[in-house]
Structure 1
Amino acid sequence: MANRRSGTASTKTRGEVRGGGRKPWRQKHTGRARQGSIRAPHWRKGGVVFGPKPKDWSFDLPKKVRREALRSALSLKCKEGKLIILKDFSLSQIKTKQVVEFAKRFDLDKALIVVNENNENLEKSARNLDNIKILKTIGLNVYDILKFDTLVLTLDSLSRVQEVLTN
């Protein structure tokens, strides 16, 4: 989840706010409090003290740990009986109705469908459905496996997943 954070929150400090290079009034003999800049934090339109700056939250997990997490998530779905393996899942035309009928036939509430190759008809047919997500095998991750109730794999994608897990 940390890798998905955009980390783009940002504010300007007193040095980054436009203006404020000159002393607003001289140091002594005015009767006013001494000031160094009109962009000091306590001034209106002044800079922010210790405000957020863009930050990279991502970190790398070792390959073995990632592979083991994927293996664990897949075995969990298998134990729960929430893993469906299909010979092939392709649509001849772009029809959301066909994907909805497929979901009803297998009693899918929230499903992650993993396909090996780029299937544009299937992707376009399912992209309007909140409870169904189409993923290519290369993008398979633990978060999506656990987020969705049912995991649907094609035989091609299953062989590719096995290949990744055995390496």
Structure 2
Amino acid sequence: MEGKVISLSGKELRTIELSDAVFGLPINEDVIWYAVNNELANARVGTASTKDRGEVHGTNRKPFAQKGGGRSRHGDLKSNIYVGGGISFGPKPRDYSYAIPRKAKQLSLKTILSLKIQDGLVSIIEDFTVESGKTKDLLKVLSNVVDLKNPARTVLILKDDDPMIKRAARNIPWLSYLTYNRLRAHDLFYARKVVMLEGASAKLNEFYASETKES
């Protein structure tokens, strides 16, 4: 599979080879759902907590006499049927995270990349950095591949941890930045535009294709 590389001025420079093992897979909706839900579960804080009747602060006296009143017996006002009482079967702090097989995670990322390629949502741009670290300089580069007047959710895939690009990108609300070897299925799947550095596409070919060979 071939991909077109765009210059910083928006002109087509050359074509590069994209691995079919990474960008040419059939779409597997099940594995995408599996990976996205795993990331959402792992991101849950899980700190919601309620008190049961044994944890509510209050008196232990009976609200009224056991017998003689014609009413149902009650032990104390901390029962869940009273306002201010305990909560029955309420949430307690818990860990929602769980692990999925590495091969399933890798397959989901490659499937999403293939899906974005098929939908024509991927642009490959020549390698660059933002030496100034300024947002306006990064936007000037992205303006050749993204409509800044009506920007959609965009993911920028980097070839390495470039601190200056990350510094420039953190003030752009519709832009997420990911390094080629630390992709997130949720961000990729919901992106309406994927912008890859040329070096990142080469490293994706090498990194995920090698995962396929090991399998």
The Cα of 1:50 is off from its aligned counterpart by 1.6
SS at match of 1:129: coil
Q: Deviations for 1:41-63, whole angstroms, at most 9, x for unmatched residues?
A: 12232111121222333332222
Q: Which letter does structure 1 place at the counterpart of 2:193?
A: T
Matches within 5 A, 1:9-88: 9-23=48-62, 27-28=66-67, 34-88=73-127
Q: Distance in 1 between matches of 2:45 and 2:180?
A: 24
Return 5+ residue gaps in structure 1 as ranges.
Answer: none
**Please, which of 145, 151, 155 is the counterpart of residue 188 of structure 2?**
145
Identity of aligned residues (%): 32
Distance 1:162 1:21, change over 3 A: farther
Any conservation in 1 of the 2:181–2:207 contact (CA below 8 Å)? no
Tell me how large the CA RMSD over aligned residues is. Answer: 2.4
SS at match of 2:176: strand
Aligned pair count reads 167
SS at match of 1:138: coil
The Cα of 1:72 is off from its aligned counterpart by 0.9
Any conservation in 1 of the 2:56–2:86 contact (CA below 8 Å)? yes
Return 5+ residue gaps in structure 2 as ranges.
Answer: 1-39
Partner of 1:115: 158
Find runs of 4+ consecutive structure 1 residues off by over 3 angstroms.
Answer: 19-34
Distance 1:53 1:155, change over 3 A: same
TM, length-normalised to structure 2: 0.66
SS at match of 2:47: coil
